[in-house]
Amino acid sequence: MKVYKFGGASVRTADGVRNLAHIVEGEQNLFIIVSAMGKTTNALERVFTAMQKAQKDEAHKEIAEIVEYHAAIINDLWGEPTQLDEVNALFAELRSIIDNTIYRPQDAELWYDTIVAFGELISTTIISKYLNHAGLRNRWIDMRKTFVTNPRHKDANVDIKASEPRLKAALENTGVGVFVGQGFIGSAPDGTTTTLGREGSDYSAAVVAHILEAESMSVWKDVDGVLNADPKVFKDAVKIDALNYLDTIELAYSGAQIIHPKTIKPLQNKNIPLYVRPFGDKTKPGTVIKADAEHVTLPIMIYKRDQVFLIIRSKDFSFVMEEKFAVIFSLLDRFRIKTHLINNSAVDLGLSVDASWHIDELIEALEKEDFEVEKRESVCLLTIRNCTDELYERYVASQQKLVRQINFKTVRVVLPEPTF
Ligand code: ASP
Ligand code: MG
């Protein structure tokens, strides 16, 4: 068995879906994981926000645009105006959630997941039907029924043990060797839909690969493979041919958008190689991520936007010590806020964290614990691994910095107003 994952950018148009069909053509033992088409997840987030603000008309307007976008893809794929009953039924269900839900703020994450999951349900329904229509026999798999997750809505983890028998059972006696399932979604033990965190489809594919002991997993992307920098931000980005699991996790943790950070562990546990391959050309090798690849020595630049920098100080000026750290980190965990850089001095703890809905609640809770908190929004975190003097001069030296950490050959800075 092989596992292929196609991201939203790869299937954002009918041409993209035809290209997917071209890539999977002739495969016999294949599990295909697909994300929502194009920017559908963002559009569904707007539907959720409208629900949150009790703006039903706005929610329906957003849904109408999502319907139109998918209808154009369907019509193009089938070559004539076409209605797919299953897709229509999904949209009807989404509309009825908007009309009939009594929203309570304490259920924000639950409704977020319920709504946002439609992106993957719709994309996989279209793609599975289209592949069958094109003669590539396959079975649509409902990942809500196969992935059991913990109840941590909006950032759930898959319970691999509980999911294994369900996934295996779903593939039995189907008479086909090709399966199409949704990335990013699962169900909590209470049956409610969960999502695995934005960009979580890579992680879904890795869990499928782990359970099915796949020979390999491939992520098809609109780049040639893993690059050493984001080419939109930094010139001269180059492709890395091979990476080991450890380097990959470090890169993902620092914010490299190559692969979701949760992806590597399920693969590493079973020693499954991960290929990052260009969607446009299936003959190109891309990048391979595997246990025995050599440590990278090339400079790697990772630029993470939308960070919030917090400076936490204990009001009584006592040192920020172990027990204080424990309080701070358990609050971060309670509010599900992800930390990407930690910088401590005797009295301060500086944290670069993801912008989250719950930052202000966190700050309030910290203040109750007698901390003072300063917040700086919209900052960027730049990490340069294997940094050279030349890169330092070019990207770091003249920038205003809130924090600078230099650790062997890794430079990490929090920049309030980067000028590149
Ligand atoms: N569709 C989800 C997102 O855009 C999951 C994914 O693409 O991996 O975040
Ligand atoms: Mg996506």
Tens of pLDDT along 263-321?
A: 999 999 999 999 999 999 999 999 999 999 999 999 999 999 999 999 999 887 776 66
Residue-level pLDDT at 299: 93
Q: 38: Cβ below 6 Å to ligand 1?
A: no
Please calculate the CA angle 162-164-169 and round it to the nearest 5 degrees: 115
State if pTM tops 0.85: yes
Cα separation values, 347 from 319, 373, 377, Å: 5, 12, 22
Quote the radius of gyration of the chain (alpha carbons, Å).
22
* Centroid of ligand 2 to alpha carbon of 154 (angstroms): 14
Read off the pLDDT of residues 174-185 as tens digits, 9 standing for 90 and up.
Answer: 999 999 999 999
Q: 41: Cβ below 6 Å to ligand 1?
A: yes
Read off the pLDDT of residues 320-340 as tens digits, 9 standing for 90 and up.
Answer: 667 888 999 999 999 999 999
Q: Is 175 left (phi over 0), alpha (psi -120 to 50) or beta?
A: left
Considering the domain 300-415 in this protein, what is its CATH number? 3.30.2130.10
CA-CA-CA-CA dihedral for 272, 273, 279, 281, to nearest 10: -130
Residue-level pLDDT at 37: 98
DSSP structural state of residue 394: I
Cα separation values, 88 from 58, 74, 375, Å: 20, 12, 45
Structural domain 2-214, CATH architecture = 3-Layer(aba) Sandwich (3.40)
Tokens for 98? 């908007």
Residue-level pLDDT at 258: 77
Q: 7: Cβ below 6 Å to ligand 1?
A: yes
Domain ranges of the chain: 2-214, 300-415
Question: Best of 201, 204, 276 to mutate for ligand 1, by most ligand atoms within 8 A of CB?
Answer: 201
Query: Residue 257 pLDDT more than 80?
Result: no
Band of pLDDT at residue 230, cut at 50, 70 and 90? confident
Instruction: Determine the Cα–Cα distance for residues 231 and 12; give it in Å rounded to an integer.
Output: 21
Please give the full DSSP string across 213-257, using - where no structure is assigned: T-SEEEEEESSSSEESS-TTTSTT--EESEE-HHHHHHHHHTT-T
Residue whose CA lies nearest to ligand 1 atom number 6: 199
Pairing of strands 348-354, 339-344: antiparallel
Query: Residue 249 pLDDT more than 80?
Result: yes
Read off the pLDDT of residues 355-397 as tens digits, 9 standing for 90 and up.
Answer: 988 999 999 999 999 999 999 999 999 999 999 999 999 999 9
Cα separation values, 296 from 42, 189, 247, 309, 392, Å: 34, 41, 7, 29, 19
Question: Best of 198, 207, 257, 279 to mutate for ligand 1, by most ligand atoms within 8 A of CB?
Answer: 198
* Centroid of ligand 1 to alpha carbon of 206 (angstroms): 14
Average pLDDT of the chain, as a whole number: 94
* Centroid of ligand 1 to alpha carbon of 110 (angstroms): 17
Residue-level pLDDT at 319: 65
